[in-house]
Amino acid sequence: MAAEPPAPLLPPPAPGPSLGSALVTVRFASGGVALERRLPEAFSVWELRQLLALELQALPWLLQLLADGELRDQQTLAELPHGGLTLVRRSVQEYSWLPRPKAKAAVQDDPSLPVVEVAFVGNLFNALSQMMRLTKMSSIYGRALRPRCTDGYDMACLEREDGQRVVLQPCHHVPTGTGRRSCQASLVFLTFALDSRASFDKARAEYYRSQELTKTSFVLLGTHQHLHSSRQVSAGEASELARGLGVVYVEVFSNSLRGLQEVLFACLDMRL
């Protein structure tokens, strides 16, 4: 009598969808399908928005997800009501850089204008240099108006479409203990090049070195998005780090001032 074959160590997988996953359908407000994919139920809406941003080549700042007409950013897919999600694009207002004489007059006439100090930490890139030059061209001069720490850059005044004005003060964050004072930025961009793992590791370290800053919002900013062939840091890895740090992750082209300005303007919208 022939011996029976040994029982398999694991039973064969049951047909159908895998346990703990859900079919997610995201539709545009017009009704068209933006994304339809099976994802783990533990997947957060925040991660889904990052995925949609990569799929649609858009900035996460500009995307919002609605469930039953309400914003849902802090939940997992398992906690969402059935019926799918609706994707809407956030209305971001345009800003214009006031010319130097008008900017100086605006600050002198209204000393209560909000001031947003923006620090860029880590890898420098061409679009940032363009923005710094634009800031310099429209900078506010005067001893009483001179910023505390800009490493050579001055303040600029921006005006939003609705007439709201804000004073922008860019600076490079200087960690304490170096003999130079650190600017108390309210918004810090942790920049790294997508084709450089060393710069990614440096951005992570700079986050922990910047913890003495209070009331600060951080943005993990991946640059050089156009260098796909030499990319060393995946979007998934960067998004995972951003989620662990509790910050937002955005990718931009290093030579596109437009992309950098969209991120900056969206940040200003949320602070005003």
Please tell me the predicted confidence (pLDDT) of residue 76: 77
Nearest to 224 by CA among 215, 233, 212, 216: 233
Nearest to 199 by CA among 223, 218, 182, 175: 223
pTM summary value: 0.66
Q: Which residue has the higher pLDDT, 191 or 46?
A: 191
Q: Strand 115-122's sheet: what is its strand order?
A: 95-97, 156-160, 165-171, 115-122, 187-193, 217-223, 248-251
Helix (H) or strand (E) holding 244: helix 235-245
Residue ranges, comma separated, of all CATH 3.40.50.300 domains in the chain are: 95-271
Mean pLDDT, residues 78-104: 78
Cα end-to-end distance, the chain, whole Å: 83
Residue ranges, comma separated, of all CATH 3.10.20.90 domains in the chain are: 21-89
Given the candidates 3.40.50.2000, 3.40.50.300, 2.30.29.30, 3.30.420.40, the CATH classification of the domain at 95-271 is 3.40.50.300
The strand pair at 187-193 and 217-223 is best described as: parallel
pLDDT tens for 121-178 read 888 888 888 888 888 888 886 544 444 444 445 788 999 888 889 998 887 654 444 4
Q: How confident is the model at residue 194 (pLDDT cuts 50, 70, 90)?
A: very high
Please tell me the predicted confidence (pLDDT) of residue 200: 94
Specify the CATH class of 21-89 in words: alpha beta
Whether the per-residue pLDDT at 270 is higher than 60: the answer is yes
pLDDT tens for 32-65 read 888 888 888 877 777 787 788 777 767 676 777 7
Token reading at 140: 């506010």
Please tell me the predicted confidence (pLDDT) of residue 221: 92
